[in-house]
Structure 1
Amino acid sequence: MKQFISKYKHGVVLFYGIIYMLWFTYLERTVTTEFTPVYSRLDDYIPFREIFIIPYTVWFLYIFITIAYFFLTSKTDFFKTCAYLFIGMTICLIIYTVWPNGHYLRVDLDSLGRSNIFIDMLAKIYSVDTATNVFPSIHVYNSIGAMIAIYKSEKLHSKKWLQVFVIVLTVLISLSTVYLKQHSVLDIFGAVALSIIMYVVVYVPDWAKVFRKENPELSKVSQ
């Protein structure tokens, strides 16, 4: 047991999930009617397609598998992935807190004139997830983050089929947010902008080199 704890003690950063869920749940319960609507004319040209519930829900598995894989195989990739996702998610929560936002894009599922398993699944999501706290889209941001983490991984970078797969999956997940009327296209643009900023922060600098300069004793030990 001690060996297991010692080997995987880096997983302590995952406790951030508790803070995130408490904060997000609080916003979901308090930001209900008083918010700034997020809307673009482009939203009117995007039809409702319940089939996109498939990539939308696959997102949960996509993010879980990505984090779990790096947790078990590479501390460096794990820490970079968590830094990218968690810092970005925190920025999103701060934006939701200081600038409450939401939308009025959702369709009336009862008036569609059809019923199927996809609509039933979406109805459940609508019932537990409000149409607030949407800009930037965390769904899109995390998808891009997972894609970048897989692409930047030395172990996975050579697996071209996987690179293509996650790119396609990320695009489908991003599209699903607007085809299900869960987000405005502006939420996607916001997530992309935040993704670019966080990529520069997390992946461009050589943080290991910077850390060694600030801690010369570690450099001597490594030598």
Structure 2
Amino acid sequence: MATKNRGKIIDLLGFAIFPVLGIFYGWLNLRNSEAIELSTPIDSYIPFLTVFIIPYIAWYAYLFLAIFFFWFMDRIVYWKTLLMIAAGEVICFIIYYFYQTTVPRPALEGDSIFTTLTALIFRNDEPVNCFPSIHVLTTSIVMLAFLQIKKTNFFQKSLIHIIGAIIIMSTLFVKQHVVYDLLGSIILTVILNVLFFKVQWSFARGSNKKRAKKLQQSGVTMKL
């Protein structure tokens, strides 16, 4: 039991991946030359609502609390989620390096708390590293990974997906991203989810079938 608990504590080192990824993001955040704008007519109809800066910032807590929950509930889902995020962000970084995009930002007016927070985000995050959106990528990864946790109820699943959907939409309402950024992230998430949760599962089942066949040949049955 002590060894198992020690291993679970060591698993928390997986969170160290975030500051490492942050270093690369920060470096790419300075590369704003020749950035391309991907705005569509749809984006012009999406209003600029600074109140959505709250869920946009809440993404940090959402991401870490969800992954901590995975660590507590299911070690395999925890590690797969971390690896999906790492793989997804590396793909994003490669795209940012070779195909940097930007989003035009509206002028800020007023002195409300929402405007102040939006100004803070605008000052510390250059309008680049947009396609695909890491906010949307990581949020959608968490939303899909949560479905892999067996011991959850309807309320928990609804809560994680409602909050996740609001965070994703907030990226458009605070003009940090455009529709193409959102779509690109969702497509990438679906591909990663298939690779990490579907393809590997198929391989594992295939291995079990081969093992069962060998056992049957030796006179032993195995339930698949």
TM-score by length of 2: 0.85
How far does the alpha carbon of each residue in 1:38-60 deviate from its partner, in whole angstroms, 9 at most, with x for none? Answer: 21111110111111112111111
Q: What is the CA distance between 1:7 and its match in structure 2?
A: 3.3
Does residue 107 of structure 2 align to residue 108 of structure 1?
Answer: yes
How far does the alpha carbon of each residue in 1:25-70 deviate from its partner, in whole angstroms, 9 at most, with x for none? Answer: 11012x1232122211111101111111121111111100011112
What is the match of residue 176 of structure 2? 182
Q: What is the CA distance between 1:89 and its match in structure 2?
A: 1.3
Distance verdict in 2 for CA 1:36–1:211, change over 3 Å: farther
What is the match of residue 125 of structure 1? 121
Question: Quick one: distance in 2 between partners of 1:153 and 1:72?
Answer: 11
- 1:63-78 pair list within 5 angstroms: 63-78=63-78
Question: Quick one: distance in 2 between partners of 1:36 and 1:178?
Answer: 17
Aligned amino acid, residue 10 of structure 2: K
- 1:19-98 pair list within 5 angstroms: 19-29=20-30, 31-98=31-98
Aligned amino acid, residue 168 of structure 1: I
Q: What is the CA distance between 1:123 and its match in structure 2?
A: 0.6
* 72-81 or 114-123, which deviates more: 72-81
Does residue 197 of structure 2 align to residue 203 of structure 1?
Answer: yes
Q: What is the CA distance between 1:172 and its match in structure 2?
A: 0.9
Aligned amino acid, residue 209 of structure 1: A
TM-score by length of 1: 0.85
Question: Quick one: distance in 2 between partners of 1:208 and 1:155?
Answer: 24
Larger radius of gyration: 2
Aligned amino acid, residue 91 of structure 1: I
Contact 2:100–2:131, Cα closer than 8 Å, also in 1: no
What is the match of residue 144 of structure 1? 140
CA RMSD in angstroms, aligned pairs only: 2.4
Q: What is the CA distance between 1:212 and its match in structure 2?
A: 5.6
Aligned amino acid, residue 204 of structure 2: K
Question: Quick one: distance in 2 between partners of 1:161 and 1:7?
Answer: 27
Q: What is the CA distance between 1:179 and its match in structure 2?
A: 0.6
* 8-17 or 173-182, which deviates more: 8-17
Identity %: 26
Question: Quick one: distance in 2 between partners of 1:41 and 1:72?
Answer: 44
Unaligned runs of 5+ in 1: none
Distance verdict in 2 for CA 1:207–1:62, change over 3 Å: farther
Unaligned runs of 5+ in 2: 216-221
Question: Quick one: distance in 2 between partners of 1:100 and 1:62?
Answer: 27
What is the match of residue 219 of structure 2? none
Question: Quick one: distance in 2 between partners of 1:87 and 1:14?
Answer: 14
